[in-house]
């Protein structure tokens, strides 16, 4: 499959970054910051957590970019780092909520973004309740437009597993949305 001009530009920027070009790194960040944030937000459902995950992703990129052997692998590598940071946040948040409930404290749910429709909010909430492995696949497939093979590469799992998890995620979303979100 032929590479798009954007893919070629990203590869060249990665190569320049590996040679130490600060300007190339700044261009790479400007090209990828929003995509990584959107993915992180879909994974966490929290604006501040998404920004934290993206910043941690860029720090990991800075540390590991010279070791990236294939510049074309950058998108999958960056998404994988970001996904892992988000999964870590979700787990910490679940532990925090569990501890707060155990101690009898109330946890405040994250406020929905201003200006969202009821349907959009219902979908966002249904996605947020998916298991983290399903949420990552839904985010990468529908949010970032990645194909099954690309998602398999990003998450380092077999393509058949991606296909199965995407199927089950769709089923869970359909049930939750048709059933009014009751589990």
DSSP string, 11-54: HHHHHHHHTT-HHHHHHHHHHHHHHHHHHHHHHHS-HHHHHHHH
89 has a pLDDT exceeding 70: yes
- 117: pLDDT confidence band, cut at 50, 70 and 90? low
Model confidence, pTM: 0.73
pLDDT in tens, 28-65: 999 999 999 999 999 998 999 999 999 999 999 999 99
Give the residue, 10 or 99, on which the prediction is more confident: 10
Please state, in angstroms and as integers, the Cα–Cα distance from residue 108 to each residue in 17, 28, 101, 123, following that order: 42, 36, 11, 20
- Of the listed ranges 25-29, 69-73, 94-98, 132-136, the least confidently predicted one is 94-98
Q: Which domains can be identified in the chain, with CATH numbers?
A: 1-111 (1.10.1740.10), 113-183 (1.10.10.10)
120 has a pLDDT exceeding 80: no
pLDDT in tens, 146-167: 889 889 988 889 999 999 999 9
Environment class of residue 29 by beta-carbon count within 10 Å: exposed (0-12), middle (13-18) or buried (19+)?
A: middle
- Of the listed ranges 56-70, 114-128, 164-178, the least confidently predicted one is 114-128
**In this predicted structure, what is the pLDDT of residue 183?**
46
**In this predicted structure, what is the pLDDT of residue 17?**
96
The answer to whether the beta carbons of residues 180 and 152 sit under 8 Å apart is no
């Amino acid at each position: 499959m032929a590479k798009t001009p954007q893919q070629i530009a990203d590869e060249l920027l990665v190569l320049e970054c590996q040679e130490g070009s600060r300007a190339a790194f700044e261009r790479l960040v400007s090209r990828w910051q929003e995509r990584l944030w959107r993915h992180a937000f879909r994974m966490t459902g929290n604006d501040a957590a998404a920004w934290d995950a993206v910043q941690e992703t860029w720090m990991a990129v800075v540390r590991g970019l010279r070791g990236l052997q294939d510049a074309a692998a950058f998108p999958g590598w960056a998404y994988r780092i970001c996904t892992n940071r988000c999964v870590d946040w979700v787990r910490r948040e679940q532990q925090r909520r569990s501890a707060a409930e155990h101690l009898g404290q109330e946890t405040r749910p994250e406020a929905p973004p201003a200006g969202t429709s009821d349907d959009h909010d219902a979908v966002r909430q249904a996605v947020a309740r998916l298991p983290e492995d399903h949420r990552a696949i839904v985010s990468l497939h529908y949010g970032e437009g990645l194909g099954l093979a690309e998602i398999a590469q990003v998450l380092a799992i077999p393509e058949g597993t991606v296909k199965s998890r995407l199927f089950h995620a769709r089923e869970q979303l359909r049930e939750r949305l048709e059933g009014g979100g009751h589990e």
